[in-house]
């Protein structure tokens, strides 16, 4: 069946993670077992899942998202037993690491077993696996009785979805069901690591902070900061990226996105200059204000063609420049909201690379049309 925009009347069902009953999952489990796909919540972002035991479902995931077929999917499991079936061997240190951080926003690469269809891994010999902490996700996988392959439930290239409404917006008519389990509390995708390299590498920064991983793996290497022309990347990894997803433009709103990266560019005077350039051209400007140290000039805040999203640290006693957790949680939703308001240009005040900042800046650099 082709995933035309009108193939389905997409249903949404709400499931409260605090009151899980098996019956609520019946429609989703039946769809999965019949080789269909389902949108579901995780703590990172919403996923579009299909059972790995039904390869036709995996094809439907790529089709609905319009995802390039050489970008592999992450396989989600609900318990450690499921891991045994998926992998041939555990890399050194993997067991300790997974026992500590699972369930949670960590994805680990393993040598795949023949049970994992090629379409899931895009022909690679490794499979990326994670155990989500969101109770609705784990219950769904448990009741479906098999691992669930799932990328983010957005159209390829768009900001990832952090609510069921975002999934509906992108995939309505193309998928039969979305489970609404509330807002994703982390808001950025999982951290992906490869332990089979020496030293081990962090392939994609994400919901689990680099600093936390480093406590267990001090030699963990950071491959990518997400810059388009990042000279930190070792040559071999630029030529043959080990995470195929690295090479695609990603996370982008419809608007022209300007990322202010340099801290020196973050002064009220400089912000006004950037804003004026587009204001004079009568562009509708969306502004994501993150710095608690800069008061956004009134002319920007008051202008009728400008929409401001305030992601500054809350409360007068909060003296941090940025609340990186808040920015991570709200980033994709803010980009989507500004698109919906018709912003033609979106300016984002970048944040530091510490903690959640690493994943936030990685996403923004991939999404940006211009970096200042
Ligand atoms: P998404 O779920 O949309 O965030 O995409 C999954 C990410 O995991 C993509 O960046 C993939 O390239 C990456 N990934 C999945 N499987 C593998 C694998 N076997 N090796 C390297 N990266 C992978
Ligand atoms: Mg994605």
- Phi and psi of 232, rounded to 5°? -80, -15
Distance in Å, CA 269 to ligand 2 centroid:
36
From the number of C-beta atoms within 10 Å of its C-beta (0-12, 13-18, 19+), residue 242 rates as middle
Distance in Å, CA 67 to ligand 1 centroid:
12
Q: What six digits make up the tokens of 306?
A: 């400008």
Q: What angle do CA 122, 126, 129 make, to 5 degrees?
A: 95
Task: Give the pLDDT confidence score for residue 198 in this predicted structure.
Answer: 86
**Higher pLDDT residue, 241 or 38?**
38
Atom 5 of ligand 1: nearest residue by CA position: 151
Determine the 3-state secondary structure of 318 from DSSP: coil
Atom 11 of ligand 1: nearest residue by CA position: 245
On the question of pLDDT at 319 being above 90, the answer is no
Determine the 3-state secondary structure of 34 from DSSP: coil
Please write the tens of the pLDDT for every residue from 141-154: 999 999 999 999 99
On the question of pLDDT at 314 being above 70, the answer is yes
Please write the tens of the pLDDT for every residue from 271-308: 999 999 999 999 999 999 999 989 999 999 999 999 99
Name the H helices within the chain.
26-33, 55-65, 80-86, 94-101, 118-121, 135-144, 164-171, 210-216, 235-239, 268-280, 298-302, 324-340, 356-367
Atom 20 of ligand 1: nearest residue by CA position: 243
DSSP letter string over 236-290? HHHHS-SSGGGGS--S--SSEEEEE--GGG-SHHHHHHHHHHHHHTT--EEEEE-
Tell me how far apart the alpha carbons of residues 6 and 173 are, in angstroms, rounded to a whole number: 5
Please write the tens of the pLDDT for every residue from 64-78: 999 999 999 999 999
Kindly give, in sequence order, each residue whose CB lies less than 8 Å from that of residue 74, ignoring residues fewer than 6 positions away: 107, 128, 129, 130, 149, 150, 151, 190, 192
Tell me how far apart the alpha carbons of residues 314 and 318 are, in angstroms, rounded to a whole number: 6
Task: Give the pLDDT confidence score for residue 250 in this predicted structure.
Answer: 81
Counting atoms of ligand 1 from 1, which one is nearest the CA of 246? 10
On the question of pLDDT at 238 being above 80, the answer is no
Q: In which residue are the tokens 């020496």 written? A: 198
Quick check: CB of 190 below 6 Å from ligand 1?
no
Task: Give the pLDDT confidence score for residue 167 in this predicted structure.
Answer: 98
Q: What six digits make up the tokens of 52?
A: 């790995």
Task: Give the pLDDT confidence score for residue 305 in this predicted structure.
Answer: 97
String of b and e for 80-119 (b: at least 16 CB within 10 Å)? Answer: eebbeebbeebbeebeebbeebbbbbbbbbbebeeebbeb
Domains and their CATH numbers in the chain? 11-189 (3.90.870.10), 256-371 (3.40.50.11030)
Percentage of the chain beyond pLDDT 70 is 91
- The kind and range of the H/E element at 179 are strand 177-180
On the question of pLDDT at 134 being above 90, the answer is yes
Distance in Å, CA 121 to ligand 1 centroid:
8
Distance in Å, CA 63 to ligand 2 centroid:
14
Please write the tens of the pLDDT for every residue from 189-220: 999 999 998 889 999 999 999 999 999 999 99
Task: Give the pLDDT confidence score for residue 232 in this predicted structure.
Answer: 43
pTM, whole model, 2 decimals? 0.93
The rounded mean pLDDT for the chain is 91
Distance in Å, CA 283 to ligand 1 centroid:
36
CA distances from 290 to 67, 295, 324, 360 (A): 31, 10, 9, 12
Q: What six digits make up the tokens of 315?
A: 């409360």
Quick check: CB of 181 below 6 Å from ligand 1?
no
Atom 3 of ligand 1: nearest residue by CA position: 151
On the question of pLDDT at 243 being above 70, the answer is no
On the question of pLDDT at 23 being above 90, the answer is yes
On the question of pLDDT at 2 being above 60, the answer is no
pLDDT band at 266 (very low <50, low <70, confident <90, very high): confident
Mean pLDDT of 38-51: 98
Task: Give the pLDDT confidence score for residue 262 in this predicted structure.
Answer: 84
Task: Give the pLDDT confidence score for residue 328 in this predicted structure.
Answer: 98
String of b and e for 169-199 (b: at least 16 CB within 10 Å)? Answer: bbbeebbbbbbbbbbbbbbbbbbbbbbbeee
Task: Give the pLDDT confidence score for residue 224 in this predicted structure.
Answer: 58
Distance in Å, CA 259 to ligand 2 centroid:
20
Quick check: CB of 151 below 6 Å from ligand 1?
yes
Quick check: CB of 333 below 6 Å from ligand 1?
no
Quick check: CB of 132 below 6 Å from ligand 1?
no
Atom 12 of ligand 1: nearest residue by CA position: 245
Task: Give the pLDDT confidence score for residue 248 in this predicted structure.
Answer: 66
């Amino acid at each position: 069946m082709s995933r035309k925009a009108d193939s389905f009347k997409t249903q949404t069902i709400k499931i409260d993670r605090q009151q899980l009953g098996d019956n609520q999952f019946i429609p989703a489990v039946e769809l999965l077992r019949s080789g269909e796909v389902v949108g579901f919540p995780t703590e990172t972002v919403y996923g579009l899942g299909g059972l790995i035991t039904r390869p036709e479902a995996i094809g439907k995931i790529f089709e609905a998202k319009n995802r390039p077929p050489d970008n592999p999917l992450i396989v989600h499991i609900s318990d450690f037993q499921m891991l045994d079936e998926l992998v041939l061997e555990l890399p050194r240190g993997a067991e300790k690491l997974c026992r500590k951080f699972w369930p949670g926003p960590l994805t680990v690469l393993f040598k795949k077993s023949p049970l994992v269809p090629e379409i899931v891994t895009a022909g690679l010999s490794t499979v990326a696996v994670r155990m989500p902490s969101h109770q609705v996700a784990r219950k769904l996988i448990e009741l479906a009785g098999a691992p669930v392959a799932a990328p983010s439930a957005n159209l390829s290239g768009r900001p990832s979805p952090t609510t069921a409404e975002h999934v509906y917006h992108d995939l309505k008519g193309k998928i039969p069901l979305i489970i609404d389990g509330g807002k994703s509390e982390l808001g950025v995708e999982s951290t992906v690591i490869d332990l089979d390299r020496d030293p081990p590498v962090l392939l994609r920064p994400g919901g689990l902070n680099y600093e936390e991983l480093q406590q267990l793996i001090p030699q963990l290497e950071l491959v990518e900061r997400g810059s388009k022309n990042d000279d930190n990347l070792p040559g071999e990894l630029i030529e043959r990226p080990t995470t195929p997803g690295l090479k695609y433009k990603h996370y982008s709103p419809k608007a022209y996105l300007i990322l202010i990266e340099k801290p020196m560019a973050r002064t009220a005077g400089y912000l006004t200059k950037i804003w004026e350039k587009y204001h004079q051209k009568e562009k509708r400007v969306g502004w994501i204000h993150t710095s608690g140290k800069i008061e956004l000039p009134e002319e920007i805040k008051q202008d009728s063609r400008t929409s401001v999203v305030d992601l500054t640290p809350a409360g007068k006693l909060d003296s941090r420049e940025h609340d990186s957790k808040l920015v991570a949680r709200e980033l994709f939703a803010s980009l989507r909201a500004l698109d919906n308001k018709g912003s033609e240009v979106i300016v984002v005040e970048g944040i530091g690379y510490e903690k959640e900042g690493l994943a936030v800046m990685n996403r923004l650099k991939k999404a940006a049309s211009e970096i200042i």
